Amino acid sequence: MDNLAAEKIAGIKQLAEFLLQSDYALVLTGAGMDTESNIPDFRGKDGLWQNIDARVVADINTIRQNYKVFHQFYKERLSAMTDVLPHAGHYALAELEKKGIIKGIATQNISGLHLKAGSKRVYELHGDLKKVFCDNCGAPATTQELYEMKPCSACSELALRPNVVFFGEALPADVWNKAVAEIKKSDLLLIIGTSLEVAPVNQLPYLTAGKTVFINAEDVGHKFDLTIIGKAKEILSETMRYINA
Ligand code: OAD
C-alpha cells in the first residue's frame, strides 16, 4: 500500500465515522459525481468546457439570439444523457438515505441519476432535462420536439429548451430555498465532484455549522474538515463497506 492509498483509506474510515456520528447529513454533488456514468464534467481534465466557451453556448442570450448554436450543443448533451445509468456511488448515497443517515442531496446535475438510483429527497438546483418548454411563451413540449429542433407548437417560435438553468438565469427559488434550509440544519455536509467555481452553489458549503467533507478527483483550493482526493464511485462504495461492517 503506497502513502496515497493509505491516506485515502484513512479518509474513507474517517468519513464513515462522521456519517455514523451525524444526526443530519446532507450532500452536495456536481458533475464529477456523474463522470463514471459516462457523462463528461465541465472543468475536469476531460471536461466539456475545455474546448467550448460556456459563456457562448450555455448563456440564456444564446437561446434568444443564436438558437442554432444553443441547439447544437444541447442536442449533444441530450444524447450524452440518454440511457445513462447510476453507478455504485449514486446507489451508496441512496442507501445512506434509506438508512436515515443522509437527509437529502442538493445537486448541480441535470442528469436525474440520483433519483434513478432511488434517492428521494433530491434538490435539483440547476433544473433537469426531463421537462421541455418554450422559452418564448412557456408552453410545454417534448424532448423529441426539442431534439428535432421543432418550433413551439403554441407560438411557432424556434425557442424550445430544457428546464435547466442557463448562465444569466436565476436558480429555481423553491428548490434553492429548501436546499439552503436543509444545509443550514446539517451537522455534516458531504461535497462530491464539483469545482465549486459556479455561484451561487459554491456558497453552500459555507452555510453548514457542521463538518464538511470534500470528495473530488482534484484539490480545488477550498478548506474542508476532511478532503479525500479520488473518484466518487470507489470512495463511496468503500465508505459503505465500513458503514455496513
Ligand atoms: P465541474 O466540471 O466544474 O467540476 C467537476 C469536478 O469533479 C472537477 O473538479 C473534477 O476534477 C471532479 N471529478 C471528475 N470526475 C470525478 C470523479 N469520478 N470523482 C470525483 N470527482 C470527479 O462541474 P460542477 O462543479 O458541477 O451549470 O459545475 C458547476 C456548473 O457549471 C454545472 O452545473 C453547469 C456548469 O456550467 C450549468 O450549466 C448551469
Residue to substitute in 8, 12, 43 for testing ligand 1 pocket (most ligand atoms within 8 angstroms of CB) = 43
Give me ligand 1 centre to Cα 106, in Å.
14
* H or E element at residue 107: strand 102-107
Q: How far is 51 from 32, CA to CA, in rounded Å?
A: 18
CATH 3.40.50.1220 in the chain, residue ranges = 1-39+86-126+170-245
* 126 classed as catalytic: yes
Sheet holding 188-192, edge to edge: 122-124, 102-107, 25-29, 188-192, 211-216, 226-229
Q: Which amino acid is at 98?
A: K
Q: Say what the pTM is.
A: 0.95
- Residue among 71, 87, 114, 126 flagged as catalytic: 126
* Residue 213 vs residues 15, 43, 174, 198, 206: alpha-carbon distances, Å: 7, 20, 26, 19, 12
Burial (0-12, 13-18, 19+ Cβ within 10 Å), 64: middle
For ligand 1, atom 32, the nearest C-alpha belongs to 108
Q: What is the CATH number of domain 1-39+86-126+170-245?
A: 3.40.50.1220
Specify the CATH architecture of the domain 43-80+130-164.
2-Layer Sandwich (3.30)
Report whether 187 contacts 209 (CB < 8 A).
yes
Centroid of ligand 1 to alpha carbon of 117 (angstroms): 19
One digit per residue, pLDDT tens: the chain, 245 residues? 455 589 999 999 999 999 999 999 999 999 999 999 999 898 887 777 677 677 677 889 988 998 998 898 888 888 888 889 999 999 999 999 999 999 999 999 999 999 999 999 999 999 988 899 999 999 999 999 999 999 999 999 999 999 999 999 999 999 999 999 999 999 999 999 999 999 999 999 999 999 999 999 999 999 999 999 999 999 999 999 999 98
- Which residue's CA lies nearest to atom 14 of ligand 1? 32
| Residues in Cβ contact with 19 at an 8 Å cutoff, skipping those fewer than 6 apart | 25, 96, 101, 102, 188, 190, 239, 243
Atom of ligand 1 nearest to the CA of 42: 2
- CATH 3.30.1600.10 in the chain, residues? 43-80+130-164
